[in-house]
């Protein structure tokens, strides 16, 4: 399904915004976000709930904090779900779709999975105690100029860079890198995946193309994938970029977790799901 916004243009223009001008969202911006929320469905069958929090960005009123990471944001979005299979991937997918939509409106956003006061945000956003609530994001009007602190944080984690195709994408087996030429019409969805944000910009994903299927792997052992759900958030975000761009390019397909994907992978990679091209009737 095509999106209500220009996917490729939005992904290319997006970067995390940590400095805002303190103005609240306009009524129209808030309404557009709220109207878009119920339209978001992830392909993993995970029910994700969103909440929006208006705070006083300038005044002294007590508000949940971000350890100084975010400045001047009056509004925050949060996403939560119940624990279960592919909960992190589903939440990553859905929350990223909401944040891309916000970016398409010219608003700034920034995934916060670590630098936010979890219990205070949970209270303010009325998140149920037993929910899986891994992230929030400010949403608002960028100040336009990054703070020195923000630039330093970006520099420390190489936030402007991305890994090369040669280490992220593979053709039939893990000893053959996939080139944009060999990827053909899928070069654009893979490139949009490559631009996806991830925690500390670690880009912990690999994709193997095998005929009409793209197999998605977490770049970690199975034990690490089990223990660290934030890797699932990153993979869900990447899957969102891939799938939205594929839809924009008119490439139909669906995600599924194959029981026997029949791929020999090093044990530093963990198979998670596949995107399978849907044959169009002749
Ligand atoms: C799941 C996730 C968690 C993140 N957590 C934080 C965080 O706690 N604090 C922060 O300042 N940035 C956080 N980020 C933002 C990343 O550092 C940022 O997306 C990455 O460095 C790439 O930069 P870009 O978004 O500007 O392209 C997070 C991003 C993701 C996807």
Q: What is the pLDDT of residues 191-203, one digit of tens each?
A: 999 999 999 999 9
Residues 179/51, Cβ–Cβ less than 8 Å: no
Q: What is the pLDDT of residue 281?
A: 64
Angle CA(238)–CA(239)–CA(241) in degrees, nearest 5? 65
Tell me the pLDDT tens digit for each residue of 57-115. 655 556 789 988 999 999 999 999 999 999 999 999 999 999 999 999 999 999 999 99
Question: Atom 1, ligand 1: which residue's CA is nearest?
Answer: 199
Mean pLDDT for all residues in the chain: 93
Q: What is the mean pLDDT of residues 227-246?
A: 97
198 CB near ligand 1 (under 6 Å): yes
Q: What is the mean pLDDT of residues 43-57?
A: 91
115 CB near ligand 1 (under 6 Å): yes
Phi then psi dihedrals of residue 182, to 5 deg: -70, -25
201 CB near ligand 1 (under 6 Å): yes
Residue 268: pLDDT above 70?
yes
* Nearest-angstrom CA–CA distance, 111 and 249: 26
Instruction: Tell me whether residue 240 is exposed, middle or buried, using C-beta atoms within 10 angstroms of its C-beta: 0 to 12, 13 to 18, 19 or more.
Output: buried
Q: What is the mean pLDDT of residues 235-244?
A: 98
CB atoms within 10 A of CB 30: 15
Two tokens, residue 5? 């916004």
7-153 has which fold? NADH Oxidase (3.40.109)
Category of 211 on φ-ψ map: left (φ > 0), alpha (ψ -120 to 50) or beta = left
Which of 67, 115, 198 most suits a substitution to test ligand 1, by most atoms within 8 Å of the C-beta? Answer: 198
Phi then psi dihedrals of residue 274, to 5 deg: -130, 150
Hey, where are the domains in the chain?
7-153, 165-277
Question: Atom 2, ligand 1: which residue's CA is nearest?
Answer: 199
Comparing 7-153 with 165-277, is the CATH topology the same? yes
Measure CA 202 to chain center.
13
Q: What is the mean pLDDT of residues 237-248?
A: 98
Structural element, H or E, at residue 275 = strand 270-277
Q: Which residue, chain included where needed, has tokens 């979890």?
A: 118
Question: Atom 20, ligand 1: which residue's CA is nearest?
Answer: 201
Residue 1: pLDDT above 70?
no
* Nearest-angstrom CA–CA distance, 181 and 64: 48
Question: Atom 25, ligand 1: which residue's CA is nearest?
Answer: 16
- Sign of the torsion angle spanned by Cα atoms 56, 59, 65, 71: positive
% of the chain beyond a pLDDT of 70: 96
Least confident of 28-37, 55-64, 161-170, 240-249: 55-64
Question: Residue 119: which of 155, 84, 78 has the closest Cα?
Answer: 78
Q: What is the pLDDT of residue 52?
A: 96
* Nearest-angstrom CA–CA distance, 240 and 92: 8
Angle CA(170)–CA(220)–CA(46) in degrees, nearest 5? 90
Q: What is the pLDDT of residue 282?
A: 61
- Sign of the torsion angle spanned by Cα atoms 185, 15, 113, 137: negative
Tell me the pLDDT tens digit for each residue of 138-154. 999 999 888 888 888 89
Measure CA 140 to chain center.
18
> Would you tell me which CATH number, out of the four given (3.40.190.150, 3.20.20.140, 3.40.50.10420, 3.40.109.30), belongs to the domain 165-277?
3.40.109.30
Q: What is the pLDDT of residue 58?
A: 58
């Amino acid at each position: 399904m095509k999106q209500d916004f220009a996917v490729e243009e939005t992904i290319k223009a997006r970067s995390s915004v940590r400095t805002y001008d303190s103005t609240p969202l306009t009524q129209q911006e808030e309404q557009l976000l709220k109207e878009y929320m119920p339209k978001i469905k992830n392909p993993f069958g995970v029910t994700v709930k969103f909440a929006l929090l208006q705070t006083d960005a300038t005044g002294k009123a007590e508000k949940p904090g971000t350890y100084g990471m975010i400045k001047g944001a009056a509004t925050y979005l949060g996403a939560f779900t119940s624990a279960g299979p592919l909960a992190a991937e589903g939440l990553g997918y859905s929350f990223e779709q909401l944040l891309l939509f916000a970016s398409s409106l010219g608003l700034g956003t920034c995934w916060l999975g670590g630098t936010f006061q979890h219990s205070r945000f949970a209270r303010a956003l009325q998140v149920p105690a037993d929910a899986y609530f891994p992230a929030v994001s400010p949403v608002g009007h960028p100040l336009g100029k990054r703070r020195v602190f923000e630039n330093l944080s970006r520099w420390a984690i190489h936030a402007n860079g991305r890994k090369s195709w040669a280490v992220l994408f593979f053709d039939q087996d893990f000893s053959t890198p996939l080139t944009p030429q060999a990827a053909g019409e899928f070069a654009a969805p893979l490139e949009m995946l490559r631009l996806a944000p991830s925690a500390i910009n670690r880009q912990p994903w690999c994709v193997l193309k095998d005929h009409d299927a793209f197999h998605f792997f977490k770049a970690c052992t199975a034990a690490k994938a089990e223990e660290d759900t934030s890797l699932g958030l990153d993979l869900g975000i990447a899957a969102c970029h891939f799938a939205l761009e594929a839809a924009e390019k008119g490439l139909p397909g669906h995600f599924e977790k194959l029981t026997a994907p029949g791929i020999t992978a090093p044990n530093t990679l963990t198979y998670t799901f596949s995107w399978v091209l849907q044959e169009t009737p002749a």
